[in-house]
Structures are given as structure tokens and as C-alpha cells.
Structure 1
Amino acid sequence: MKEAGVSPNVVTYNSLMAGATRGHTLSKCFDMFEVMLEMGIVPDAWSYNTLIHCLFKYGQPDEAYRVFNDILLQNIYPCQTTYNIMMNGLCRNGYIKNALILFRNLERHGYIPETMTFNILINGLCKSEKWKDTMKLFEELQQSGFSPNAITYTTLMKCCFKHKHLRKGLEIFSEMKNKGYAYDLFSYCTVIGALLKSGRTQEANKYVAFMIKIGYQLDIASYNTLINMHCKAGKLENAFNLLNVAEESGLECDIYTHTILIDGLCKAGNIVDAERHINHLNSMGFYCLVAFNCFIDTLCKLGHIDYALQVFHSMDVKDSFTYSSLVHNLCKARRYRLASELLLSSIKAGLKILKSDKKAVFEGLTLTGSVKDVQTFKLKVRVAKLLNY
């Protein structure tokens, strides 16, 4: 541009700032903004929108709010996108209450929200596990004169299923279809997954049949849902046949596919094939903690605790579930000393422990050891917790 004698304008710098934001470079976004000011180019609403979005993206909500206030002080009229960026950024950074306060304040000043704004807040409320508030806002959207869209319905449906309101979730899915919105594979898989979790396999099968009937091209997420359905029903042969079909159709199975199959094999008590599948997963460069946790829990339940301990010590990464499974099963086997050592190790590692596990260890040590031993162990637990506070 310099060689051509063309002077950059506000659009030029807005584009550079947007590129810096997409390129994960907050400092460069600020640099472009400063250069624009130094050159006497007056930033517009979109300059500030980009800057606010970048700040929220990099977890600086206070700075983003300061820039938003600067817009108002400089008499630059924020646009609908500005408000949406603010509310979305606040929600994503865990400030759903602040987003709602901003929303209500704007309404009092004559701001008319659009469906996208409602969707942002509904999604934020869902993620904050405020189901009742989510449904109230949905009703408010319906009464506002704006119509919910496919995103609204899908978000609400997932929220209902997450909070175990299956009937309401199915009602929303039905309303979504009746109003003629495009419902895709994701919606169907969400419904099928929810039905499977609630044990309503026959209804899930009906949705699967309808999906196939209308000719949906299944992706790997869809295959994972179907494989999971057969695993939960104990039909492992069907699950592995689906795996073959997916691979033959050119799809690359992901870690979730293999984890579902390993979990199915474990629940069927087939530890030989489960271990073989875990080794196959490792040979492909995947390390799946969930699969290892399922395997260890199954070994314990089948009475192979010593082998479970071998697997445990061979693991590079462990979480609370790994420790909890072993502690629980060691206590059931009355091996309280070893259970206490593992419990203490998990606390020292900074992991959360279940109250039931701690209680089982304390009660076991009380039965098999002296009062002094129990008191000493309780003191060690308190010290470990304080060190990791």
C-alpha cells in the first residue's frame, strides 16, 4: 500500500486487528490500535468490537469492560454486535450475572434485543446450570415478538437432557420439527444419546431407523452414538460391525469410539479383549485415561485387584476416579493399609477425594489397627490437605 501511495484507513486497521485476534496475538491487536491512533485515524465501533472480543478471548474481562465504557465516553454509538460481543464474552468468562445485568440495563434504556442475544444468554445460563432461569428467558424470547431459531432449540434441548428433564427436551425437539426448522444429525444424536442414558433403548432405535430412512450421511459422532447404543445393550458384535462400517466408509475413528468399545468390553467382563484394545489404542499414539479407569474398575470388580494395581502403577496420568476406584475396592477386600496409602497419595497429588472413600478407610483402619494408628493417619491427611490448599 505504501509503495502504491495508498494510505491505510480505519477499515485497513480493523482488518489487521481482526487478523491478530484470529492469530492469537493480543499484543499485536493492541499495537494496531495504537498505530491507528498515532496516525490520527479515528477508531469506529468495529475497531472497539474487535478489541473487546480479543480481550474476552484472552481472559481479560475487566479490560474488555473498560474499553466498552470508553466507547460510551467517546460518544461512539455501540451497535447490536457490540452488545452481543459483551454478553457473549461475559458469559464465556463465567460472568453470567453481569451479562444479565447489562442486558436488563440496556432494555431499560430502550435497547431491543434480537434472537442472537437471547441465544447467547440462554447458552450462558445452560452452562451455568441455571435450568429454571434458562426456561424463563426462553419464554421471554417467545413473548418478545422474536422467534426462536434452530440454535435456540438445540441449546435448550441439550440443557434439558443435561438436567434430566427428558420429557421437556423431547417436547422442544418436537416443537423444533413442527415449526419447520432444519434439524440435523447433531440434533438426532443428542436425542438418541439422552434416550440411551435414560434406558429407553426402543425409542432410541426408532430415531435411529428414521435417521437411516431419510438418508442422513453419518459422521463419526453419529457412529459413536450408535456404537454406544449397542454397547449399552450388550450387543458388542453389532458395535464392532459398526466400527468396521465406519472405517470402510472412509471415516477415521477417534478416541471416543475406542473408549466406548473398551467400556463395553469391560462391562461385559471381557478383560482380555479390553486390554488388547487399550494396547491397540496406545500403539496408535492415544492415551485415554477414561479407558484405563474403566479397565481398572472392571479388574477390581472381578477380583483381580493385584493386577489392577500393576496397571495403576504403569499409568503415566491418573485422576480422582483412578484412585477412588482402587481405594473403594481395596476397602471392600479389607486391604485397608494399602487403601490408606493410595488415599494419602491422591491427596498429596492435589486430587479431590470422595467423602465415602475417606470414611471407608477410617472405619477400616479403626477395625484393624490401633486408635493411635488411626489418629496418626488422620493427622497425615490434614497436613496433606493443608499443603495442597
Structure 2
Amino acid sequence: IEATCKESGVEQAMKLLDEMRSKGCKPDVVTYNVLINGICKEGRLDEAITFLNNMPSHGCQPNVITHNIILRSMCSTGRWVDAEKLLAEMLRKGCSPSVVTFNILINFLCRKGLLGRAIDIMEKMPEYGCTPNSSSYNPLLHGFCKEKKMERAIEYLEIMASRGCYPDIVTYNTLLTALCRDGKVDIAVEILNQLDSKGCSPVLITYNTVIDGLSKVGKTDRALKLLDEMRGKGLKPDIITYSSLLGGLGREGKVDEAIKFFHDLKGLGVRPNAITYNSVMLGLCKARQTDRAIDFLAYMVSKGCKPSEATYTILIEGIAHEGLAKEALELLNELCARGVVKKSSAEQVVVKM
């Protein structure tokens, strides 16, 4: 039945259910759960609810998994009132919620920005014999980070650990991303340095996040030290790592160092992409070395790397900042006419000119 739901749809699976019954094989709760899940995946939630309500008449009581399937579908379609009613009905019938039940509700509330209600739900979990896990805390932390409430996020990180639920690398990556986005890179570095002692080893994306954060606030020297550190731990930097560092060197006016770093990539077996080239060109343009940036564009094309829209807008802004605003505007209009640069992007460039 499960395979039929996936391959041929629920209607065919229902025929199998009828055949199963006709041959005296009584479906159990697992059978019904598979069918309800299939109905929900097809977007037929009301039918799934009817199916749930009819289960007792077929001699089968829904279990917590049955209710969780319906709850998840209700939450994913924004039917919170129905979800609350189903939860109340579930409790009335003596079907105890599981950690998964609570996590479905917490995740929904956090996505809607209702963090206070999500916390209330979490605090009630022990009353039902459920202990919050990382999947309970992660949506909350993500919600706090999204709202730039970093103190609250760190507070809940500590609460999480104090309750014996140790954050995983996903939790830390969420926090580090938010800290770096807000420019709080020193705190991010401090947390990164503590990860090994907490039994949570940083992964590539962890380092990339902090390296990018440092590079964007003029602390590329510290970012380069992290590059050495990650290599020392056996982690292989990728094109994202190097593009962040190149961007940082360019923003700090260290264009010659950036170009040398760029050419060193070949020896490391790294193939630059458009973002990598753009990082160098942006640095050259900011240093009012647009002629070198144009030469770098030619080099980019010669290496078989197709320029992006951002490549052209970077160069046009560079030309304008060299005092050639009229020529830059003419070039921009020509590129728009050719469809190389979108009108919306061109308007943003004009504002900067």
C-alpha cells in the first residue's frame, strides 16, 4: 500500500485496502497511517481528517503517529485553529502526545514568529512526559536569530545545555550565521573556539560562516588564521571559503594580495567561479583600478568562466567612480538593450552613480 501511494497515488492504494478487507485481512493502524500520510501528501487534508474519524468504525483506534501526520499537514497549510482542536481531541481520547507532536507545533509557531507561544508549548512538554530535544530548541533559536534577538538566542542555547540537551552543529551554525550577519563576529569566533570542548566539531559551513563574517568587517587577517586552522583539522576549504577571503582582501584595499591569493588557487586544485572573479574585480574597482578590473574580465573570459550580471554592474560602477559617469551610463544602457543586465539591476546601479 505504501509503495502504491508513492507510485500510483492514493486512489489505487484504496483499491488495495478494499481487496485486503475482502480477503479477510484486517488493516491495522500502520496501514491506516500509510494511507492518511498519502492523502495528506496529495493535499487532501479534509479527506484525511474524515479518514481519521472513521477509523474506530473499522475497529482501529488512531495512535499518536496518526494524529502527528494530520497535525503536520494542518500546520503546513496554516490551519492552526484546526490543529489546536485536533490536539484537544487527541488528549480527550487519552492519546498522549509525543515529542514529535510538540515539535510540529513549536516549528509552526516559530515560523509564524509566535515565539512566546512556542515557548509556552515547550514548557508544557514535561507535563506529558516529554523532554525537549534539539529539534524542539532549534526552531526557537532560529526564530530569535531571525528577529535579531541574539541575547535571547544565546540564553536559550545555555538553557538547552543546562537541561541536558546539548546543541548540535546545526544549532551552532544557525547562531553563528545570525551573529556574523549582525556584525558580532568576536562573539562568533569565541563560540567557534569553544565547539571542540563542547564535543561538537565544526564542519566546513561553520568555518565558512565565520570566515565570511570576519572578511566583511575588515578582519581578513583573523579570517586567514581560521583558514589555516580548518586546514589543520583536515577540513578542505571550498570556493565559498576562498571567495569570502578574496572579497575581504579587496574591501580592505589589499588588491595585489588578493590577486596573488587568487592565482594561488590553481595550485590548490580550486577552479574559480564568477563569484570569485567578481570579488577580485570589486576590490580593484574600489581601489580605482578599473583598468585592471577590465583586464581581469578579459582573463576571466579567456579561462572559460562566463561573466554574470554582477560582473558587468561591478565594472560599470567602477567606470562611473573613475569620473566617467556618462560613458558608464551609455554602456549600461547598451547592456540592458542586449538583455545582459536586467532593468531592475540597472536602476540600482544608476542610483549608486
Aligned twin of 1:326: 350
Letter in 2 for 1:316: K
Q: 1:162 to 1:296 in 2, by over 3 A?
A: same
State the distance in 2 between where 1:326 and 1:86 align.
46
Q: 1:210 to 1:145 in 2, by over 3 A?
A: closer
Aligned twin of 1:76: 95
**Matches for 1:276-287 after TM superposition, within 5 Å:** none
Aligned twin of 1:316: 342
Secondary structure (helix, strand or coil) at the match of 1:27 reads coil
Aligned twin of 2:214: 195
Aligned twin of 2:188: 169
Q: Deviations over 1:16-74 (max 9, x none)?
A: 555676xxx45145545544544535432222222332343345545544444443344
Report the alpha carbon displacement of residue 256 of structure 1 after superposing the two structures with TM: 4.2
Q: 1:202 to 1:282 in 2, by over 3 A?
A: closer
Letter in 2 for 1:94: G
Question: Bigger shift: 42-51 or 231-240?
Answer: 231-240
RMSD of equivalent CA atoms: 3.8
Aligned residues of 2:215 and 2:249 also touching (Cα < 8 A): no
Aligned twin of 2:263: 241
Secondary structure (helix, strand or coil) at the match of 1:216 reads coil
Structure 1: gaps of 5 or more residues: 330-389
Question: Bigger shift: 232-241 or 180-189?
Answer: 232-241
Aligned twin of 2:321: 301
State the distance in 1 between where 2:189 and 2:37 align.
40
TM-score w.r.t. the length of structure 1 is 0.67
State the distance in 1 between where 2:302 and 2:71 align.
46
State the distance in 1 between where 2:75 and 2:313 align.
36
Select which of 131, 141, 147 maps to 1:128: 147
Select which of 27, 40, 43 maps to 1:27: 43
Give the paired residue count. 319
Letter in 2 for 1:146: C
Q: 1:145 to 1:283 in 2, by over 3 A?
A: closer
Structure 1 position 214 matched with structure 2 position 233: yes
State the distance in 2 between where 1:244 and 1:272 align.
21
State the distance in 2 between where 1:229 and 1:44 align.
55
Aligned residues of 1:26 and 1:54 also touching (Cα < 8 A): no
Q: 1:35 to 1:143 in 2, by over 3 A?
A: closer
Secondary structure (helix, strand or coil) at the match of 1:117 reads helix
Question: Bigger shift: 128-137 or 147-156?
Answer: 147-156
Aligned residues of 1:185 and 1:216 also touching (Cα < 8 A): yes
Secondary structure (helix, strand or coil) at the match of 2:179 reads helix
Select which of 102, 106, 112 maps to 1:87: 106
Structure 2: gaps of 5 or more residues: 2-15
Letter in 1 for 2:192: F
Letter in 1 for 2:160: L
Report the alpha carbon displacement of residue 210 of structure 1 after superposing the two structures with TM: 2.3
Q: 1:9 to 1:308 in 2, by over 3 A?
A: farther
State the distance in 1 between where 2:73 and 2:273 align.
31
Aligned residues of 2:64 and 2:96 also touching (Cα < 8 A): yes
Secondary structure (helix, strand or coil) at the match of 1:318 reads helix
Report the alpha carbon displacement of residue 191 of structure 1 after superposing the two structures with TM: 2.1
Select which of 87, 104, 120 maps to 1:101: 120
Greater length-normalized contact order (CA 8 Å, ≥ 6 residues apart): 2
Letter in 2 for 1:180: G
Letter in 2 for 1:171: E
State the distance in 2 between where 1:11 and 1:68 align.
20
Aligned residues of 1:265 and 1:273 also touching (Cα < 8 A): no
Q: 1:264 to 1:143 in 2, by over 3 A?
A: same
Aligned twin of 2:63: 44
Letter in 1 for 2:186: R
- Identity across matched positions, percent: 24
TM-score w.r.t. the length of structure 2 is 0.73
Q: 1:242 to 1:66 in 2, by over 3 A?
A: farther
State the distance in 1 between where 2:284 and 2:71 align.
49
Report the alpha carbon displacement of residue 173 of structure 1 after superposing the two structures with TM: 1.3
Report the alpha carbon displacement of residue 124 of structure 1 after superposing the two structures with TM: 1.6
Q: 1:240 to 1:139 in 2, by over 3 A?
A: closer
Q: Deviations over 1:316-352 (max 9, x none)?
A: 2415xx54552353xxxxxxxxxxxxxxxxxxxxxxx
